[in-house]
Amino acid sequence: MAKNPMQRKAQNSFLLGMLITLLITGLVIAFLVLQLTKLTKDQQKAKSLLKTVYVVSQDIESGEPITSDKLIEKTVDGSTIPANALTTTDLDEKTDILDENGNLIKKVEVVSKIKLMQGTVLTSEMITETGELAADLRKQEYNMFVIPSQLTTGQYVDVRLRLPNGKDYIVVSHKRITIPDYEGTLSVNTVSLNVSELEILTLSCAIVEAYKISGSLLYVNQYIEPGLQKEATPTYIPDGDTLNLIRRDPNCVAEAANALIEWNNNDGNRTTVRNPINNALNENSENATENAINALKEELQKAQEERQKYLESLGGTY
């Protein structure tokens, strides 16, 4: 049966509408597919930019060792942090020295170059490695140094000897200070340092000579930014007996002992350092032994008092 013009027109309009609808639907689907593809790529890109880094969980002073208890891991957008932010792997590579089989050979201490505030993202420029822990390093307490009024645990100092004539020598350098704390009460006159065998012997000589020379001063002075400032070169030379002891002591690191002996063997150094000290010792020779004995008694008394404070802080009766 033949269709009238009105029917054909309606059918054509319907087919055209369907075609337009399909075309629009296809365009919408294509648009949605493109948007979904773009969104997926953006998500993949954002995921690829995520980086797990170390964030400082508490304030860290300049020169203070950076240990795991002072850090937390945090996953952040890598585009919002410095390119040299340290990941877990990065920090492990700086602290753990491995052999070709992946076995740990030694651990290296990492310290902060600057003061780091809580929440800081740790970067490679903020830290420095100080070397492995030496076998002859010991924690030693001293109570005969003149201590700055605002010295606190964690600061770095040089120990210096000043003679009555104004000559001033560095005995040991760049030492991190710990001040004994007895249940919140800090020691007034005692500090502890990590020192090597050579430094123990050198300090012992300087202490005795300071005791013998009336008007001399054994004191410490602070570094301003110890994480950035290189350690000073010691300028004090111990006496001949101590040098001979250092030379024979198997516990002294040979390289350091040889460097000190070589420093002493230089005529200019020996004249500049030892001559003024020897002259001061000669001038005080009459009372030198008595001065040393009295100072030693005072040192022992201080040590006993500090020990008593520590024992009392434990809560017992001694």
DSSP track, 284-300: THHHHHHHHHHHHHHHH
- One-letter amino acid for residue 297 of the chain: K
What are the start-end ranges of the E strands in 21-81?
Answer: 50-56, 71-77
User: Distance between CA 202 and CA 169 in Å, rounded?
Assistant: 12
User: Distance between CA 201 and CA 305 in Å, rounded?
Assistant: 24
User: Distance between CA 218 and CA 145 in Å, rounded?
Assistant: 5
Which residues contact residue 220 at a Cβ distance below 8 angstroms, ignoring those fewer than 6 apart?
145, 146, 147, 148, 151, 157, 158, 159, 160, 177, 191
Two tokens, residue 46: 């954002």
Instruction: State how far the alpha carbon of 105 is from the alpha carbons of 64, 185, 284, in Å.
Output: 24, 40, 51
**pLDDT digit string (tens) for the chain, length 318 residues:** 555 677 676 676 777 777 788 888 888 888 888 877 777 776 666 566 777 888 888 888 888 888 778 888 888 777 777 778 877 777 777 666 555 555 554 566 788 888 888 988 888 888 877 666 677 788 899 999 999 988 888 889 999 999 998 999 999 999 989 998 887 888 888 999 989 899 999 999 999 999 999 899 999 999 988 878 888 999 999 998 998 888 888 888 777 788 888 877 777 777 888 889 999 899 888 888 888 888 878 888 888 888 888 888 777 555
- Using CB atoms within 10 A of its CB, is residue 226 exposed (0-12), middle (13-18) or buried (19+)? buried
DSSP state of 24: H
